[in-house]
Amino acid sequence: MDIQEYIESGILETYVLGSASEAEARELLYFKKKYPQVQTALHELENDLEFIAEQMAITPPPGTWSKIEASINELTTVPEYEPLRLKEPGSKNGYDFKTANRDYIEVAESQSTHMTIHKSWKWVFAAVFVLGKIFLACAIYFYLENRQAQQQIQELKTEFRQNHPH
Amino acid sequence: MLFGYIYEIVKDNNLAEQHLINIYNCIPDHINELADEGTNTWCQLQRLAKKYLEYSKGAIHSSQFNGADLSKYNGRNRFLGLMTHEQRHVFYNAYYCGKTIAELSKELNKSEEIIRMALKEAFIIIKKG
């Protein structure tokens, strides 16, 4: 393959914009390692993208940075989540924002597998816990009541035998 | 830079600001990838933003593009005004809407080679300014 022709084909531009297919991205990454020209061209294109973004930049509204700062500070109080995987465009496993959905609690089942449950289940767990405590208290109460009744029966039987000898 | 990119997609100042804050919240999880030598930090950040918007908006693809109105391509958008309608359509939809070459090929009823070349030409126009 003529590598210059490959560079001129527009595939590099497609790749940097994340519009390449998986197969195209795989092929490009292979050529990037093999041919320094591809690497250089790709580097130039990435710089071009940065240039485009600079030209099209808009100043954010005043106060945006303090909001970002406050939001990041809030994050320190939230438990850590598994980081999202950052991949090259066109790769099979790109960013997965579903894993960052804060409506779900990650429950570790073992070292290798995980179970995801909805946050609403915490109320079910709390109810089960409270009901468990109530049942336990009832069981102890009825056990003691039963033991006391058995003792009373035993006493009555003894008393009866003493009052009515054969 | 990132605010301008997001704004162009959502076309709403408050929404763009909120998305910007949320994207910054994701950065601590990706700091190693973003600071990785050999990769352009801006490109990585833009990919992160694009993926975030795809997920949170559910339809980054729904970002509307009306290439006919040339009057709005001034100042920061002047590059778009220098492109042909086809180049502009391809560049805008790939850059902002995240459409693939295959999707654009089908949409414009042209071969993928032609779409790739249109994108390449759009880059050349931007480079020349």
B41-98 per-position pLDDT tens digit: 888 888 888 888 877 765 455 555 555 455 565 567 778 888 898 998 898 888 888 8
Average pLDDT, chain A: 80
d(CA B27, CA A143): 59
Residue among A86, A54, A101 nearest B28 (CA): A86
Q: Is the ipTM of this complex over 0.85?
A: no
State how many domains chain A has.
3
| Chain A environment of B116 (Cβ under 8 Å) | 9-11, 13-14
In chain A, residues with a C-beta closer than 8 Å to the C-beta of B47 are: 18, 86, 89, 95
Higher-confidence residue of B8 and A133: namely A133
Q: Supply the CATH classification number for the domain B70-128.
A: 1.10.10.10
> What pLDDT sits at residue B79?
80
For chain A, say whether B125 makes contact (Cβ under 8 Å).
no
CA distance readout (Å), B59 to A21, A41, A85, B23, B52? 19, 31, 21, 17, 11
Structural domain for A38, as ranges:
3-55
Global confidence as pTM: 0.60
Give the pLDDT score at A88.
Answer: 53
Q: Which residue of B has its CA nearest to A64?
A: B17
| Residue B121 CA to its chain's centroid (Å) | 16
Last residue of a domain, one of A119, A139, A154: A119
pLDDT band, very low/low/confident/very high, at A24 (cuts 50, 70, 90): confident
Highest-pLDDT range among B26-30, B78-82, B116-120: B116-120
User: In chain B, what are the domain boundaries?
Assistant: 2-62, 70-128
Query: Are B104 and A86 within 8 A, CB to CB?
Result: no
Q: Which of B127, B99, B105, B106 is nearest to B118 (CA)?
A: B105
Residue B93: per-residue pLDDT: 87
Are A114 and A133 in the same domain?
no
For chain B, state the CA radius of gyration.
15
* Nearest-Cα residue of chain A relative to residue B20: A68
